[in-house]
A and B are shown apart, each in its own frame.
Chain A
Amino acid sequence: MALVEIERLRKEYEGLVALDDLSLSIGEGEILGFIGPNGAGKSTTIRILATLLEPTSGRARIDGIDVMEDPDAVRARIGYMPDSFGVYDDFKVWEYLDFFASAYRIPKVDRPGLVDMVLDVTNLTVKRDAWVESLSRGMKQRLCLARTLVHNPKLLLLDEPASGLDPRARIEFREMLRELRALGKTIVVSSHILPELADFCTSVAIVEKGVLKVAGPIADVMGEAREHRVLEVGVPDTDRAAAERVLGAFRGVESVVLLGGVFKVDFDGDLDQQTTLLRALLDSGVRVRRFAEDMGDLEDLFLRVTEGQLA
């Protein structure tokens, strides 16, 4: 069941089209990587979902509730972490979370346990009594994430959550998102740094110039977006010449490149033809060490479906 439904969402800023009829559906429990270059419309989409921005046209529903018709009900279901965020430096960590728990009308008696729970999820328990001002940027990021969790939202909207973090903090942040997924949260996470999304996203949406280029489960999207398959064929050195001959002569093979002792074969064919190619190699006496489809990565996919244009 879709938790987020976006239909023909359009946003214009003084003649500039930031979002152009964007439609997207996000299922419960998904972690959607929202990818696009800076200025592509990611933050605009997230801010509309967060009820902070009014669309020019179109509609967006979260848990069946229209974000414009009942923003209060939507806010109770979402946790929003903006790309640039602030924290109250004059609070202690637990006070900061208690403040927001109170603002979300969590009963006073429930707050201490809740604060301890979100501190635990975000690995900030040891900093419970520290001043917010004394935290590192990575810890403040985690604190901000903890703040989005105090009212137990179904959906987390994280806009560039890992920007400005050092590699270690990024890894820790990624682990935390995995934990949140295990807790059943649906997460929309935008980024233009692709490797940081590849590991933990279940689906991906690529947006450019305000237009949704491609969306869906990562494996499906990568498969669909590829014009050709890339096969990796590994053979012993002694069989390399024979293998190259067979590969070069096979119908559907566009190019063969030897990289690090493995042939990278650009192959325009389906699974049956792929099987036939393997058989042809074996029939020619080539000993095959490795024969696999290279799924590529998000960077490949991103470069393939975008044209490097901004909105």
Chain B
Amino acid sequence: MALWSDNPILARELSVRLSMRRQSPAQRRAALTAVGVAIPLLYATVLWGARDARIAADIRPLIVGGLETALLALFAPILAASAFTLEREKQTWNALLMTRLRPWQIVLGKYVGSLAPAAVVYACFLPLNAALAARAGMSLPRFVAESIVLAATMCLYGAVGLFCSWACRRTQAANTAVTLAVLAMLAGPWLLLPLWVSVTSSAFNIDQFVPLWGNAFMVMTRLSESPGTGMTMADRSALFPLIIGTNVLLSAATTAFLLWVPAVRLADGPEEMVH
């Protein structure tokens, strides 16, 4: 059985998290109508507001670096935080582990399934980002780099949520752990910054502070700034490609590690199962 095709865990997670099968037809229609109105309205408002290149360049960091990054950095881990704990709380966990599913199938099925709603948010914003980028005169490679960093950020934060879900017995505990972890990841580097400033003798350049290279808000805000503002990371720092590369690699490596640990422990068998 492949990891992706015919993986019942993935199919179930997608079905539960994306479909509204338990709702009545009226509730379904209402929800779809609300989404159908809200998204075009958001698009129309933003694109109307960003009529010229200058305004488009100004609001891109707010939309992409602020709103979208915040949504994904909070949405992805919180949704993943209940992936394992709900199974334990509902006492369905052992039944699942007794089947012939491989640990990687369980972990990846849970991970991808719980990430799906965040991926939908990402996909909804993508055309808007592209339109704003085109209007602000952003180059295609920069836009692609920005989209990759954003996707890597979403994957990383989702993996943090899944790890907390595996490590905690209760959803409430997992949610608390996730919140603390996200706060530490976002605020931690900024708290270290004054220390770095006080010990460095060179002229202060925030782009040279390596711990911030992994900070989603920092990188996304800088990335989404466009040439029109005259203050892009690329203009100010030759470190730009290194920062992007480091951010994506760090996110990918951390994500892989956070998924690898529960998969290996599940494969260990009984000790994990008694949870």
Contact = CB atoms under 8 A, between A and B. Distances in A.
B8 A75 contact: no
Interface string A47-79: 100111110000000000000000110011010
Interface string A26-55: 000000000000000000000100111110
A294 to B, nearest CB: 42
Interface stretch (B89-97, B172-180, B214-222): B89-97
B232 to A, nearest CB: 47
A173 interface: no
Interface stretch (B58-66, B72-80, B98-106, B197-205): B98-106
A219 interface: no
Main secondary structure of the interface of A (DSSP, over half): loop
A52 B94 contact: yes
A100 interface: yes
Contact of B100 (A54, A72, A84, A131): A72
Interface in B100-133: 100-101
A161 to B, nearest CB: 14
Given A99-B8, A103-B8, A103-B100, A53 B274 contact: yes
A147 B12 CA distance: 16
Interface of A: 47, 50-54, 71-72, 75-76, 78, 80, 82, 84-91, 99-100, 102-105, 108, 131, 147, 151
Contacts of B101: 103
A51 B95 contact: no
Contacts of A84: 91
Given A54-B271, A90-B22, A104 B99 contact: yes
A103 B98 CA distance: 9
B12 A88 contact: yes
A47 B98 CA distance: 11
Contact of A102 (B6, B16, B270, B274): B6
Given A51-B269, A53-B270, A90-B16, A105 B91 contact: no
B6 A52 contact: no
Nearest to A91: B12
A104 B21 CA distance: 25
Contacts of A103: 8-9, 96, 99-101
Contacts of B182: none
A54 B271 CA distance: 8
A86 B91 contact: yes
B1 interface: yes
A82 B270 contact: no
Nearest to A85: B91
Contact of A75 (B9, B11, B16, B98): B98
